[in-house]
């Protein structure tokens, strides 16, 4: 199992993350949210993965390496080490159990095994470990257990606790639960054969807290057409467009001009400063410039004769 | 997720990257335009002028079975123009031929 871990390369994990290309705008945010979320139970996941041979995506190779170094530890060593820092001792303990029995469940809470070790022999321990197999998943249960006991807390437990408290105190934080950024889908209807109407254009602008003009510029530049806002505050675009297509463009707009590039929060302000647009995040306070909207090359699609007649 | 501070950072990464002769610099914009009916047009703007666009368009025409042309634009330089929605095709082709890296391609449109 150690070998399996060794061949694992970090790129694997990355790919997995990128796979989250869900449909909604929230997907963009979700990525960010997940990033932050992963940070919390990090040491935990590392352990879990190690235990599962097939599941090779491990995100924390730093601890992994550290552990591997500790592999040659034996039970005798462990006792010697026990006097050392809590964190270190625990890691060593876990590792050496793994060495003794490959099937041993590494998932088990460090401290738990450690404490038991003092009283029980290893055989009991393994049985115990199997029992505990599934309870690792829910953090709450774990934390409840250790709170009542009088033993020393491990680093992992304390870390977990800190993150839990953080999440409880400010539930809307990025590190907490996945934020939802719900958007109403754009209502696109065909007008005649050549034009499309984006009926809730202004509504969406309001939801995104963006100037209608800015979104209009972007839409028209991306779609390579012309269009305007009519009296009923709906956008009329030249060309046939389906809702899905507009949605795609809208998603790109949100990714570039609405969500914060650092924390992915949608709570941002777009300011114009010396001809450049800057995105100021209200959540994390970051400020970065965003690409200006350029329509680029436009090929001639209408009748050349008609253009000539117009200009001449 | 690894801890960023502990990663080894190669200070000469940029320098060594620049060493390999990378002709294409800047983004390649791939756009789509609607024509009459359900016809479309794909434009490729920003390819390096060191490339022979005529040769590229010749290869593309053959590969995608479409017509195409090179248009000289005063502001944007030479622009490839292909008939139909060739956005996927051109992206794959450019990367396969090694003319541009995937991160240099920017696809616009719906």
Give the tens place of pLDDT for each residue, A27-78: 444 444 444 444 444 444 444 444 444 444 434 444 444 444 444 444 444 4
Q: Across chain A, how many H-helices and E-strands are there?
A: 15, 7
Contacts of B31 in chain A (CB under 8 A): 224, 296-297
Distance CA B70, CA A32 (A): 41
Q: Which of A77, A35, A43, A79 is nearest to A61 (CA)?
A: A43
- B72–chain A nearest CA distance, Å: 11
pLDDT tens-place string over residues A117-146:
444 455 554 544 454 444 444 444 555 566
**Per-residue confidence at A270, pLDDT binned at 50, 70, 90?**
confident
**Token pair recorded at residue A230:** 């009519």
Quote the CA–CA distance of B74 and B94 in Å, as a whole number: 24
Q: Least CB-CB distance to B34: which of A59, A240, A248?
A: A240
Task: From chain A, pick out residues whose CB is under 8 angstroms from the CB of B45.
Answer: 296-297
State how far the alpha carbon of A280 is from the alpha carbons of A268, A292, B9, in Å.
Answer: 5, 15, 29
Q: Which domains does chain A have, with CATH numbers?
A: 188-290 (3.30.30.170)
Q: Are B80 and B60 in contact (CB under 8 A)?
A: yes
A86-100 vs A122-131: helix crossing angle, rounded to 10: 100
Nearest 5 degrees, angle CA A237-CA A238-CA A242?
A: 65
Cβ separation A299–B32 shorter than 8 A = no
Beta-carbon separation of B34 and A38 below 8 A: no
What DSSP string runs through A154-215?
PHHHHHHHHHHHHHHH-TTSTTSSPP----PPP-EEEETTTEEEETTHHHHHHHHT--HHHH
Which pLDDT value is given to residue A106?
40
Residue B23: which pLDDT band, with cuts at 50, 70 and 90? low
CB atoms within 10 A of CB A12: 13
Question: Under a CB-based contact definition with an 8 Å cutoff, are residues A267 and A283 in contact?
Answer: yes
Nearest residue of B to residue A250, measured between CA atoms: B110
Residue A283's closest CA among A185, A161, A176?
A176
Residues of chain A contacting B34 with CB distance shorter than 8 Å:
223-225, 239-240, 301
Give the pLDDT band (50/70/90) at residue A273. Answer: confident
**How many Cβ atoms sit within 10 Å of the Cβ of residue A310?**
8
Residue B83 pLDDT grade (very low, low, confident, very high; cuts 50, 70, 90):
very high
Domains of chain B, CATH where assigned:
31-107 (3.30.780.10)
Give the one of A10, A239, A248 whose C-beta lies nearest to B2's C-beta: A10
Residue A209's pLDDT band (cuts 50, 70, 90): confident
Residues 6+ apart with CB under 8 A from A312: none
Residue of A nearest to B28 (CA): A296
Task: Round to whole Å and give the CA distance between B52 and A220.
Answer: 31
Dihedral sign (CA A104, A109, A110, A114): negative
Contact A113, A126 (CB under 8 A): no
Q: Per mean pLDDT, which range of A28-42, A195-209, A217-231, A248-262 is the poorest?
A: A28-42
Indicate whether A306 pLDDT > 70. Answer: yes
The whole-number average pLDDT for the span A173-180 is 52
Quote the CA–CA distance of A268 and A287 in Å, as a whole number: 9
Which chain B residue has its CA at the smallest distance from A11's CA?
A: B1
The torsion defined by the Cα of A82, A83, A88 and A94, in degrees rounded to 10, comes to: 10
Q: How far is A13 from chain B (nearest CA, A)?
A: 8
pLDDT of A6 higher than 50: no
Q: What is the mean pLDDT of chain A?
A: 65
Residues 6+ apart with CB under 8 A from A283: A174, A260, A263, A265, A267
**Mutation target among B34, B70, B73 for the A interface, most CBs of A within 10 A:** B34
- Residue A11 pLDDT > 50: no
**Is the per-residue pLDDT at A188 higher than 60?**
yes
User: Mean per-residue pLDDT for A160-167?
Assistant: 86
pTM for this one?
0.55
Provide ipTM, 2 decimals.
Answer: 0.77
Two structure tokens written together for A144: 């409840």
* Residue numbers in A near B43 (CB within 8 A): 296-297, 299
How far apart are the C-alpha atoms of A311 and A303, rounded to whole Å?
13
Return the number of CB contacts < 8 Å for A and B: 67
- Other beta carbons within 10 angstroms of residue B73's beta carbon come to 14
Instruction: Give mean pLDDT, residues B29-41.
Output: 88
**Residue A192 touches chain B, beta carbons under 8 Å:** no
Query: Is the minimum CB–CB distance between A312 and chain B shorter than 8 Å?
Result: no
Chain B residues within 8 angstroms (CB to CB) of chain A: 1-3, 6, 29, 31-36, 38, 41, 43, 45, 71, 73, 76, 79, 81, 108-110
């Amino acid at each position: 199992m150690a070998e399996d871990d060794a061949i694992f390369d970090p790129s694997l994990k990355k790919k997995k993350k990128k796979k989250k290309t869900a449909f909604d705008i929230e997907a963009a945010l979700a990525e960010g949210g997940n990033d932050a979320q992963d940070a919390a139970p990090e040491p935990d996941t590392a352990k879990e993965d190690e235990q599962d041979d097939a599941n090779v995506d491990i995100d924390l190779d730093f601890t992994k390496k550290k552990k591997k170094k500790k592999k040659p530890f034996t039970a005798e060593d462990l006792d010697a080490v026990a006097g050392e820092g809590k964190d270190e001792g625990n890691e060593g303990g876990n590792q050496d159990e793994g060495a003794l029995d490959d099937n041993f469940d590494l998932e088990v809470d460090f401290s738990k095994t450690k404490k038991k070790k003092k009283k029980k022999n290893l055989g009991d321990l393994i049985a115990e470990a199997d029992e505990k197999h599934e309870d690792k998943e829910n953090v709450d249960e774990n934390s409840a257990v250790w709170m009542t006991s009088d033993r020393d807390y491990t680093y992992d437990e304390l870390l977990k606790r800190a993150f839990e408290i953080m999440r409880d105190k400010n539930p809307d934080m990025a590190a907490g639960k996945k934020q939802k950024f719900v958007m109403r889908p754009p209502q696109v209807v065909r007008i005649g054969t050549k034009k499309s109407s984006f009926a809730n254009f202004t509504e969406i602008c309001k939801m995104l807290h963006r100037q209608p003009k800015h979104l209009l510029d972007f839409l028209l530049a991306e779609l390579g057409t012309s269009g305007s806002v009519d009296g009923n505050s709906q956008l009329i675009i030249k060309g046939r467009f389906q809702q899905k297509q507009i949605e795609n463009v809208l998603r790109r707009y949100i990714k570039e001009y609405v969500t914060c590039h650092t924390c992915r929060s949608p709570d941002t302000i777009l300011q114009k400063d010396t001809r450049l647009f800057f995105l100021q995040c209200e959540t994390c306070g970051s400020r970065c410039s965003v690409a200006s909207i350029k329509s680029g090359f436009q090929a001639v699609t209408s009748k050349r004769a008609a253009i000539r007649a117009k200009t001449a | 997720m690894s801890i960023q501070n502990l990663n080894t950072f190669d200070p000469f990464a940029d320098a060594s990257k620049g060493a390999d002769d990378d002709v294409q610099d800047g983004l390649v914009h791939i756009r789509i335009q609607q024509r009459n009916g359900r016809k479309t047009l794909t434009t490729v703007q920003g390819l390096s002028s060191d490339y022979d666009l005529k040769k590229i368009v010749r290869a593309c025409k053959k590969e995608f079975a479409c017509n195409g042309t090179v248009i000289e634009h005063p502001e944007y330089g030479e622009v490839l123009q292909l008939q139909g929605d060739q956005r996927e095709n051109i992206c794959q082709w450019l990367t396969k031929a090694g003319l541009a890296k995937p991160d240099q391609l920017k696809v616009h449109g719906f």
